[in-house]
Amino acid sequence: MNQQAWYPIINYDLCTGCADCVMECPTEALVMSGCRPVLIQPDACGYCAICEAVCPEEAIALPYRVVVESRS
């Protein structure tokens, strides 16, 4: 199994670079690289979903949410 698949996925086609996700991430797993957020410390990610919740563009998805919603 690809463990990377269980980290937040950022859709850069939707991302506007507002940095809200980076500012709200409680573990500093996300940082801005230029105008893009990057999951620079995947092992630090607590999978709390705050980044997904605060993104105004719905550009972040946590894979478990995708699975749950696809079955509803």
The footprint of ligand SF4 (CB under 6 A) covers: 8, 10, 15-21, 25, 27, 29-30, 37, 39, 45-51, 54-55, 57, 59-60
Least CB distance to ligand SF4 at residue 45 (A):
3
Q: How far is the CB of 5 from ligand SF4 (least distance, A)?
A: 14
Side-chain half-sphere exposure of 45, counting CA atoms within 13 A? 23
Angle at 13 between CA 12 and CA 14, to 5 degrees: 90
How many other CB atoms are there within 10 angstroms of residue 15's CB atom?
18
Residue 19 or 63: the one with the smaller Cβ distance to ligand SF4 is 19
